[in-house]
Amino acid sequence: MTLTMVGDIGGTNARFALWRDERIESVRTLPAADFATPELAIEHYLSSLGLSSGDLSSLCLGCAGPVSGEDFRFTNNHWTLNRSAFRRALGLDNLLLINDFTAMALGMTRLREDGRIQICPGASEPGNPSLVIGPGTGLGVSTLVPDGGDRWRVLPGEGGHVDLPVGSLREAALWQQLFADLGHVRAEDVLSGSGLVRLYRAVCTLDGHAPHLGTPAEISTAALAGDPVAVEVLSLFCIWLGRVAGNGVLTTGARGGVYIVGGVIPRFAAFFQSSGFASSLCSKGCMSHYLNGVPVWLVTAEYPGLEGAGVALQQALEPAAA
């Protein structure tokens, strides 16, 4: 038996699946803290299916953190990996390690209509890049580029660490408050789970409110229940995401569309749809017309990272046509 397997490993959980006939199957989620090494987690996954590492030939892992060299340390968990030792331990013929947001971007090529919600209408321009952006633990940003035929490549980067853009006097006042606390204000400092809490505290400090909400879930729940401070905070979050995404489209020429990914925005999808995101995305002065007609989708698919890892492995194992 020759098996191909994919994984999507974050700070808390490791998701694994078999990749067979160009689709994922037998998806399992395992807490990283339960296993001393990624090898043990993979062996446990295979054992749960009545399989062993001897059945496995090829593996692609999407890993949180910069991927380069022989040794890799996972971001926000205790796992480390040496490529050569890892391959020997599992008896692999092929091992592919990619950044988790590269896997996420490639997963956009596998989306079905029921796995996304259209936020801004428009038509993708064939042959042009697409922007993939997602608030979560941090702010991930990648550019998905058509590479001829049915192949794709991803331009990874650190777009979550760009300076936070300012587009109004209210935002400028909040930026000053954030700057007083942080010294340098990145997009990720607002557009992430912890960033939502930081933005809430900045609004409270600026307006003289006593903060009583302490988690992203509490803030979004209060906003959906009509709490006026939480409503403004969540509105500003959506507006700032639009500004950063619009900057990304201008920078990369991403007229193929924008994909909003990650677990944060789907929790308040209806609020997001009616927020100022769309107007702030296109509010670029003399270049506002460039953003008009660029489609934007909110991704609700369950396992785009695993799907993308499968695409990456398939492309690596199947040479491009001459």
Other beta carbons within 10 Å of 304: 27
* Dist CA 308 CA 214 (whole Å): 34
Residue 10 annotated as part of some ligand binding site: yes
The 10 Å CB-count burial string (b at 16+, else e) for 215-226 is: ebebbbebbeee
Judge contact between 77 and 114, C-beta under 8 A: no
Between helix 193-207 and helix 169-182 the angle, nearest 10°, is 110
**pLDDT, tens digit, 9 for 90 and up, residues 29-59:** 999 889 999 999 999 999 999 999 889 999 9
**pLDDT, tens digit, 9 for 90 and up, residues 54-73:** 899 999 999 877 787 788 88
The CA-CA-CA angle for residues 260, 73, 53, to 5°, reads: 90
Write down the pLDDT at residue 157: 80
Write down the pLDDT at residue 108: 96
Residue 207 annotated as part of some ligand binding site: no
Q: Which among 158, 38, 60, 147 has a CA at the least distance from the CA of 101?
A: 158
Q: What is the DSSP string of 238-267?
A: HHHHHHHHHHHHHHHT-TT-EEE-SSSGGG
Judge contact between 185 and 159, C-beta under 8 A: no
Residue 65 annotated as part of some ligand binding site: no
Write down the pLDDT at residue 138: 86
Write down the pLDDT at residue 320: 55
What the chain holds in terms of domains, given with CATH numbers, is 3-99 (3.30.420.40), 112-300 (3.40.367.20)
Threshold 0.95, pTM exceeds: no
Residue 239 annotated as part of some ligand binding site: no
Q: What is the pLDDT along the chain (322 residues), one digit of tens a residue?
A: 578 999 998 777 899 999 998 899 999 999 988 999 999 999 999 999 999 988 999 999 998 777 877 888 876 678 888 899 999 999 999 999 998 889 999 999 999 999 999 999 999 999 999 999 999 888 989 999 999 878 999 997 888 999 999 999 999 999 999 999 999 999 999 999 999 999 999 999 999 999 999 999 999 999 999 999 999 999 999 999 999 999 999 999 999 999 999 889 999 999 999 999 999 999 999 999 999 999 999 999 999 999 999 999 999 988 754 4
What's the mean pLDDT when you consider all of the chain? 92
Residue 12 annotated as part of some ligand binding site: yes
